[in-house]
Amino acid sequence: MSWVASLRGRGVDLVEGAELGSRTTYRVGGRARAAVEVGDEGELARLASALREIDEPVPLLVVGMGSNILVSDHGFDGLVVTLGRRNFARFEAGEDGLVTAGAALALPVLARRVSAAGLAGLAWGVGIPGTVGGAVRMNAGGHGSAIGEILERAFVADLAGGGGLVARGASELDLGYRRSAIGDSEVVVKAAFRLAAGDREELGRAIGEIVAWRREHQPGGQNAGSVFQNPPDRAAAKLIDEAGLKGFRWGSAQVSERHANFIQADPGGRADDVYALMQEVRAEISKRFGVELLLEVKLIGFSSVSSGEVA
Ligand SMILES: Cc1cc2nc3c(=O)[nH]c(=O)nc-3n(C[C@H](O)[C@H](O)[C@H](O)COP(=O)(O)OP(=O)(O)OC[C@H]3O[C@@H](n4cnc5c(N)ncnc54)[C@H](O)[C@@H]3O)c2cc1C
């Protein structure tokens, strides 16, 4: 019996052949073998025990807004797990600046709400179109700040373990540049941030400036933000620009004219073109500058990925 049938037999409400690529900000790529939306912590624990009861290992992918992943045109041969917004997109702010937010809450929404409440430290998050969970896993950041600086603890359920919620302090998460120790079977369910008292008007102005800066410097359309990590003391965008690759096209994918570290996909385009363009850019930067760029975007379902290419 396939794992899909086994999980269904154990009461897991799956969608087979679920849309995946179209749910990412690249809006290219194939479907998932199956997907499940988990409504609350109890369902998460039940999913974990169903997964434990079946013999086969099931490849797992937790998806937030899909703003940092590229899904192959062949799709993902595993189970996609998402968190329902009803129970996982709430937030509460305590008197002492401790803000607890559900992992499915959009980071820009949280950034605006806490700033409007006079809490400082997360205004930069207004420009990052992901969820709280995705931001913790990626240690997302920008404008000189990152999640790790304000994260007090993350509440994580391991689907390969018991599925119970474990509070993990920021220091236990090995947060680094766009990385954390959170593994593929682990689901960030909520996170607690320590924010400082700030001036509402100043924070409002900062939000406005960040939004304006993003509009001016970053393209809209189908992309997943910065494709490559910045190498030590260098900016990937500058290297790509200096290599004359702005506007360079590969089939339905193009290096953005506005920001050289963004790759745009055409409407109806192919993930394989985006992937091939990433490899072309890496090869050119290696040849010209001797710098091996590492991906910031996570590749899903690409069989030919070598570890050096994965962030
Ligand atoms: C226009 C644009 C601008 C961007 N600018 C920035 C920027 O300035 N700085 C920056 O850091 N990033 C930036 N990004 C990338 C992206 O928005 C961030 O990485 C974001 O944190 C990803 O969140 P997500 O919910 O979309 O995660 P996804 O793309 O859905 O997933 C990313 C990774 O996180 C995992 N994940 C998602 N949710 C959970 C969860 N609840 N529990 C466990 N793991 C989870 C996934 O399995 C995957 O490994 C940008 C993207 C775009 C499109």
pLDDT tens digits for range 40-54: 999 999 999 999 999
Whether pLDDT at 26 is above 80: yes
pLDDT confidence band for 94 (50 / 70 / 90): confident
Which residue has 């393209």 as its token pair? 219
Mean model confidence pLDDT for the chain: 95
- What whole-number distance in Å separates Cα of residue 271 and Cα of residue 32? 14
Task: State the residue range of the domain holding 300.
Answer: 219-309
DSSP three-state, residue 263: strand
pLDDT per residue as tens digits for the range 121-145: 999 999 999 999 999 999 999 989 9
Q: If you take atom 6 of ligand 1, which residue's CA is the nearest one?
A: 128
pLDDT the model gives residue 194: 97
**How far does residue 65's CA lie from ligand 1's centre (Å)?**
7
Average pLDDT of span 219-245: 97
Protein residues whose CB sits closer than 6 Å to any atom of ligand 1: 25, 61-69, 83, 103, 127-131, 133-135, 137-138, 140-142, 178, 182, 186-188, 218, 223-225, 298
- What whole-number distance in Å separates Cα of residue 272 and Cα of residue 274? 5
Tally of domains within the chain: 3
Q: Give the domain CATH number at 229.
A: 3.90.78.10
C-beta separation of 273 from 251 below 8 A: yes
Q: Say yes or no: 200 and 143 in one domain.
A: yes
pLDDT the model gives residue 309: 45
Q: Say yes or no: 104 and 190 in one domain.
A: yes
- What whole-number distance in Å separates Cα of residue 198 and Cα of residue 124? 14
Last residue of a domain, one of 186, 216, 246: 216
Last residue of a domain, one of 216, 245, 269: 216
DSSP three-state, residue 112: helix
Q: Say yes or no: 98 and 167 in one domain.
A: yes
Whole-prediction pTM:
0.96
| Helix ranges restricted to H, 218-270 | 236-242
- Percent of the chain predicted with pLDDT > 70: 97
Q: Give the domain CATH number at 63.
A: 3.30.43.10
Whether pLDDT at 310 is above 70: no
DSSP three-state, residue 180: coil
pLDDT the model gives residue 304: 59
Last residue of a domain, one of 59, 84, 109: 84
**How far does residue 54's CA lie from ligand 1's centre (Å)?**
30
Q: Give the domain CATH number at 184.
A: 3.30.465.10
pLDDT the model gives residue 129: 98
